[in-house]
Amino acid sequence: MPRRRPGALRAARGDFEGRRPSAWARELPPVDRLSPAASAEVHWALRGRADEVETLLSTYRDFLRRPGNGLRLAPSLCESCPGCARDDVALVRDELAELYRGLPPGARRALGRVLRALDAEFRRRTMPASVPFRIGPDRQGRPYAWWHRRVYEGT
């Protein structure tokens, strides 16, 4: 019976430790505020979906650039539609968290630094909700993250 190569096994389980991004990844443009090495790792690990990270980070930053101190989250009209779901910043932050988990350690640290700064601003400018907008577990059965427990418009 044929064996799978060790590299194929590592790739299947997402083990990036000790591996370097390919040359093609180092030639791509940098991802939003990440170092060239971390950007190459993001391009390499996400296989062409690095522009998603950039789009999600810009959406998150656009929300935080709004004037005023008491920002309120706006629920999306249709969570199942990919375009409409990104109207809700909490869902954008969910997508960033999901992409963050799939990155190799170096890129995860770099993106984590960016997210920590944005999250600190998010916590400073939004208020915790006395009754969360989303109560109960999400679709995977996990409790909603802290960014879902902020004040939404109309609550």
Domain boundaries of the chain, sorted by first residue: 52-155
Residue 141 scores a pLDDT above 70: yes
- The rounded mean pLDDT for the chain is 81
State pTM to two decimals. Answer: 0.78
Distance from CA of residue 18 to its chain's centroid?
Answer: 24
Q: 34, 150, 36, 151: which is closest to 96 by C-alpha?
A: 34
- List Cα–Cα distances, 80 to 33, 91, 113, 152, in angstroms: 30, 11, 30, 19
Query: What's the pLDDT tens digit per position in 24-64?
Result: 666 777 788 888 888 888 888 888 788 899 999 999 999 99
